[in-house]
Amino acid sequence: MRVLVTGANGQLGRALRPELSECRVDWVDLPQLDISRAAEVDAWFETHGPYDVVYNCAAFTNVDGCEADFATAFAANALGPMNLARACATGGATLVHVSTDYVFPGTDPGERIEDDVPAPISAYGRSKLAGEGLALSANPRTHVVRTAWLYGEGKNFVRTMLSLAARFDEVTVVDDQLGNPTSAADLARELVRITQTSSFGVWHCTNEGTCSWADLAEAAFELAGVPCKVRRCTSAEWKAMHPESADRPAFSSLRNARLEATIGNGMRPWREALAAYVASAVSPGTGAGGE
């Protein structure tokens, strides 16, 4: 297969490398290709295509940054997927576009399924929801895959917590936002499985189980064997300390309902996936996560 992976230097892009080892893959990222520029996307496809599958892992994922600069967020997270979808449609390629749990408002307890109505409360969520709709409209051969709380090779919450634990005895972490910590490696494997189906549309794909950010930090410390304590705080308390921060959904846990109903849900429980990640990410004897 001829494959294009955008955002190739991010956590998910890196996790896809072993999964696509038998394919002919173009791995691209900024500044090589700016997907928000339609002319650049069209020129790339004309020069390097045609492709069978395009994995769009490129995004502006800084939630607070999106709040401060919605124009940039919309360009990357909405116009970018649309440009890729149009190019894919012209060449008959399948697009796999990665989205987020933050398209939901998080006002209702429990897990969200694919058919639940989205209503994002942040600029990041609004830009990602727009990208979903534009991609699906531009190319009928599109899989939109929503995931959450991703960690892998690169900067992420788990590595940040382990780094802080190496320097401090206590960290303050929000305890009233609930979601699904998700391994980039597990997600990458499942994306390839989804790509092999012709059941296009919206999917949820996260590791199984729900926890808070504080729960996740405590689990990472326990698995890494570091004595750092977690001081739990509310979202309101965090907002008072960081007024520039964007609002996050309180309940953004996803259920992999479509996977369960079709090809089977291959995602592990989140604690099992986290244990494997921490075992590989923690430097022996230091308890610190490396970059």
Where in the sequence numbering do the catalytic residues fall? 124
First to last CA, the chain: 32
* CA-based torsion, 116, 202, 266, 154: positive or negative: negative
Closest to 66 in 3D by CA, of 33, 103, 93: 103
Contact 246, 123 (CB under 8 A): yes
Q: Residue 274, SS3?
A: helix
Closest to 78 in 3D by CA, of 116, 28, 113, 35: 35
What letter represents residue 257's amino acid? Answer: A
- CA–CA separation, 98 and 140 (whole Å): 16
Omega cis (within 30) before 243: no
